[in-house]
Amino acid sequence: MKVTLKLYAMLSDYLPDAARKSNALELELDAGTTPAQLIAGQNLPLKLCHLVLVDGVFIPPATRATRPLVDGETLAIWPPIAGG
């Protein structure tokens, strides 16, 4: 299945150069891959994976290892940030 991974703020350093301009990377994953598996597979530091959204909806830490991603979904991740 195809899933789009978006990494922002300090996490964008973990994207290949070509993907940094869009903050987005399209990935081909095995069906049933969870956000936690994707995060581990990309070697992203867990403490920076704070705000995790799938198609804009927050995924709580407790379900990141159990909620499978679906073909066409977008997983977007931010480190701890805020604004106003």
Partner 1 sequence: MGWTRKVLRVDLTKGTCKSEPLNMQWAQEYLGQRGLATKYFVEEVDPKVDPLAPANKLIMATGPLTGTMASTGGRYSVITKGALTGAIACSNSGGYFGAEMKFAGWDMVIFEGKSPKPVYLSIQDDNAELRDAAHLWGKTVWQTEEIIKKTHQDTQIRVASIGRAGENGVMYACVVNDLHRAAGRSGVGTVMGSKNLKAVAIRGTKGAGGIRDGKAFMQATVAAKKVLADNAVTGQGLPTYGTQVLMNVINEMGALPTRNHRDVQFEDARKISGEAMHEKRPTDGKAQLVTNAACFGCTIACGRISKMDEGHFSVVNKPEYWGASGGLEYEAAWALGAANGVGDLEALQYANLICNEDGYDPITFGATVGAAMELYDLGILTKEQIGMEAPFGSAQALVKLSEMTAKGEGFGKELGLGSARLCAKYGKPELSMGVKKQEFPAYDSRGIQGMGLAYATSNRGACHLRGYTVASEVLGIPVKTDPLVTEGKADLVKAFQDATSVFDSAGVCVFTTFAWTMADLQPQLDAACEGGWSMEKLTLLGERVWNMERLFNNAAGFTAKDDDLPPRLKTEPAKTGPAKGKVNGIDVMRPEYYKARGWDDKGVPTKETLSRLGL
Cα distances from 79 to residues 1, 2, 28, 29, in angstroms, run 26, 24, 24, 23
Only one residue has tokens 């300090």, namely 10
> Around Cβ 37, how many Cβ atoms within 10 Å?
16
Smallest gap from residue 21 Cβ to partner 1 (A)? 7
- Binding residues for partner 1 (CB under 8 A): 6, 8-10, 12, 21-23, 47, 50-51, 53, 55-58, 60, 74, 76, 78-84
Q: How far is the CB of 78 from partner 1 (least distance, A)?
A: 6
Cβ 8 to partner 1 shortest distance, Å: 5
